[in-house]
Amino acid sequence: MARNKFDIDEELEAPFQLSHFKRLVGYLKPYKKLMIMTVCLMLLASVANLIGPYLIKVAIDEKIPNGDTAGLAMLAGIYLVAIIITGICLKYRIRIMSRIGQSVIQHIRKDLFTKLQKLDFSYYDSRPHGKILVRVVNYVNSLSDLLSNGVINLITDLFSIFVIICFMLMIDVKLTLMAMVGFPILALIVFLIKNAQRRAWQNLSNKQSNMNAYIHESINGIKVTQAFAREHENARIFNEVSGNYRTSWMKAVRIQFLLWPSIENISVLSVSFIYVVGISAIGDGVTVGSLVAFVGYMWMFWMPLANIGNFYNAIINAMAYLERIFETIDEKPTLTDAPNAKTLPVINGRVEFDNVTFGYEREEKTLDQIQFVANPGDTIALVGATGSGKTTIVNLISRFYDVNSGQVKIDDIDIKTVTIPSLRKQMGIMLQDPFIFSGTIMDNIRYGRLDASDEEVIAAAKAVQAHQFISRMEDGYLTEVNERGTRLSTGQRQLISFARVLLADPRILILDEATSSIDTETELALQKGLETLLAGRTSFIIAHRLSTIQKATNIFFIDKGKIIERGTHDELISQRGHYWKLHNSHKRAVV
Ligand SMILES: Nc1ncnc2c1ncn2[C@@H]1O[C@H](COP(=O)(O)OP(=O)(O)OP(=O)(O)O)[C@@H](O)[C@H]1O
C-alpha cells in the first residue's frame, strides 16, 4: 500500500483527459432547459450588443450627411433599447447560472462524500486526511466559476464571433479576410503553451493538497505541538509548504498570463493593419462609416476570443482538480460485498478464526495462523505487548480488512460471503478513544440506534452507570458537547460509548479498553457498566484492567502476531508463563 504524506506530491495522470470534461458537462444534464433558456438570453444579449457599430455606420454614412435628425434620434432610440435588453439578459443569466453552478457543485460534493463514507480503512491509512478534505472543499469550489459562467460563455462567445464575422462580411469581405491574419498566430501560441499550463496547474493542485494536509495534521496534533513547544518548528515547516504553494501559483499564473497579452497584442496589430489598409482604400468602395464600424467589430471580435482563451485556461485549471475529484468518486473500495453476498441472519455470536494470516502490507505477517473459537456469551480478553496484533485481530472480526489466508467465521458462516452492513450491524465496536460527535449527549448515545426513544437512551445510560454524571451536567442529556468530546473526561467518554453500544444491542462486542488511569469512582462505574454490557454477548476485549481480565472466559496472550498462551486466568497463572509475568507486573504497578 503506497503511503502519502504532506510533503509528498500525489501522482498525476499524464494526458489531458477530455472524458473528465465530458463527465463534468454530464452533471449539467438535469438543468438542460434552464441552460437553453440562458443560452437564448445570451444570444439575444449579444445580438443587441453587436448592433451598435452597425448603427454608427448608418449614422455616419447616411443620417449625418443628409441632416436626418429624426433618423438619428431613431437610431439612438434603438441603441438605447439594445443596451437595456443586454442589461436585463445579463442579469438573469448571472442569476440562473449561479443557481445551476451551485447545484452541480452540491451534486459533485454529495457523490464525493457518499464515496468517502464507503471507502475502507486502507484508503484512509494510505494518505493524509487533509488531502481528502481538500478534494471535497477546495477542488470542488474551484469548479464553481467554470460551471456558473464558463460553459454558457463559451456558447455565447462562439455565437458572438459568428455574428461579428457576419456583420464584418456585410460591411466588406476583403477587409474581413485581412482582419483574420492574426488568428493562426494566436492558435499557434495557444498550442505551444498548452502543456506547460496543464503541468503548472497540476503542480499547483498538488501543493495546495500538501498545504492542506499539513494544516489538518497540525490542528489535530495541536495539543502535542504545544506540549512539546514545537510551534516554531511547525511554523518553519508550514512556511516551506506554503512557500511551495506560492511558487507554483506564481508559475501557473505566469504561464496563464502569456495568453492575455498575446491576444491584446495581436488584436492591436490587426486593428492597426486594417486602419492602414482601410484608410488607403477609402473612396475605393470603403466609406468612413464602414471603416469605423468595421474596426468597432474587430475590437468586439477579439473580446469573445479572449474570453474563450480564459475559458480554456479555466478548463486546464479545472482538469487538474477534476482528475482528483473523479479519481476519488471512482475509487474502488478494496473491501466489497461478494457478488452473491447474502444478508447475515440474526446471529448467536459464535466467532471462529480458522488459520487466519494477515498483513497490512501483503508481504508482511502481522497475524500468523490464528486459530480459535469463541462461543456465544464468551468474554475473550486479548493481552500482549504493544504492537503484538491485538487490535488487528478485532479489526478482522468486523471485516475492516480482509484476511490474506484462512477464514473468519461467525455462526459457521465465512464473513466474506455476507454483506458488510449486515455483519457490522450485529457488532458493537468501542475504540480506546471513543469518538464523540458534535451535538448533545443524547444525540451521541442515540448514534447506536437512531430510532431509540429518549427513555431508551436514558435507560441505556442508567444501565452502564453513565446517568449520574450526565444528570450533573448543566443541561443533562441535552448538554452540547463538541467534536471529539474535548469537554468530557476519558472515563465519561467511555461511559457514553458504553451506553451507545448497549442501545445498539449487538450480539458481538468488541472493546478496546482505555489505559488511562481514572479515579476510583469512575473505575467502579466503568466496571459495573461493562458487566451490564457484556452480559449475554460474545465479547472481545483488549484488556488492561486486571478485573476485566480475571473474569474473562478465555485469555489470549498475543506475541508477534501469534497466540502463544491461552486459558482462563487461573490456568494461565498456574502455567507461570508470559501471562503470569504480565499479571505480576500489573499487580506491582497497582500496589
Ligand atoms: N493501519 C496499519 N497499517 C500498517 N500497519 C499497521 C496498521 N495498524 C497496525 N499496524 C502494525 O501492525 C502491528 C500490530 O498492530 P496492532 O495495532 O494490532 O497492535 P496492538 O497489539 O493492538 O498494539 P497496542 O496494544 O499498542 O494497541 C504493529 O506492528 C503495527 O505497527
State the distance from the centre of ligand 1 to the C-alpha of 561, rounded, in angstroms: 10
Q: Are 408 and 397 in contact (CB under 8 A)?
A: yes
Give residues (CB < 6 A) around ligand 1: 125, 360, 366, 384, 386-392
Taking the CA of residue 121 as reference, the ligand 1 atom at the shortest distance is 1
Q: Residue 2: which of 133, 135, 122, 136 has the closest Cα? A: 122
Residue position matching grid coordinates 478485573:
547
Check: complex ipTM more than 0.85? yes
pTM of the model: 0.69
With helix as H, strand as E and coil as C, how does 566-583 read? EECHHHHHHHCCHHHHHH
Other CB atoms within 10 Å distance of the CB of residue 316: 22
**Closest residue (by CA) to atom 2 of ligand 1?**
360
Q: What is the pLDDT of residue 236?
A: 93
**Closest residue (by CA) to atom 16 of ligand 1?**
389
Assess if CATH 3.40.50.300 describes domain 347-426+508-516+544-591: yes
pLDDT in tens, 148-172: 667 777 877 888 888 888 888 888 8
Residue position matching grid coordinates 432610440:
77
Taking the CA of residue 382 as reference, the ligand 1 atom at the shortest distance is 21
- Strands 379-384 and 554-559 come out as parallel
- Distance, CA of 209 to CA of 132 (rounded, Å): 8
State the distance from the centre of ligand 1 to the C-alpha of 315, rounded, in angstroms: 44
Half-sphere exposure of 187 (CA within 13 A, CB side): 5
**Closest residue (by CA) to atom 1 of ligand 1?**
125
- Where are the chain's structural domains? 18-330, 347-426+508-516+544-591
Q: What is the pLDDT of residue 174?
A: 84
pLDDT in tens, 189-199: 877 877 788 78
Taking the CA of residue 125 as reference, the ligand 1 atom at the shortest distance is 1
**Closest residue (by CA) to atom 5 of ligand 1?**
360
- Distance, CA of 201 to CA of 146 (rounded, Å): 15
State the distance from the centre of ligand 1 to the C-alpha of 390, rounded, in angstroms: 8
State the distance from the centre of ligand 1 to the C-alpha of 270, rounded, in angstroms: 69
**Closest residue (by CA) to atom 17 of ligand 1?**
391
Kindly give the parts of the chain with pLDDT less than 50.
1, 516-517
Assess if CATH 3.20.20.70 describes domain 18-330: no
Taking the CA of residue 395 as reference, the ligand 1 atom at the shortest distance is 18
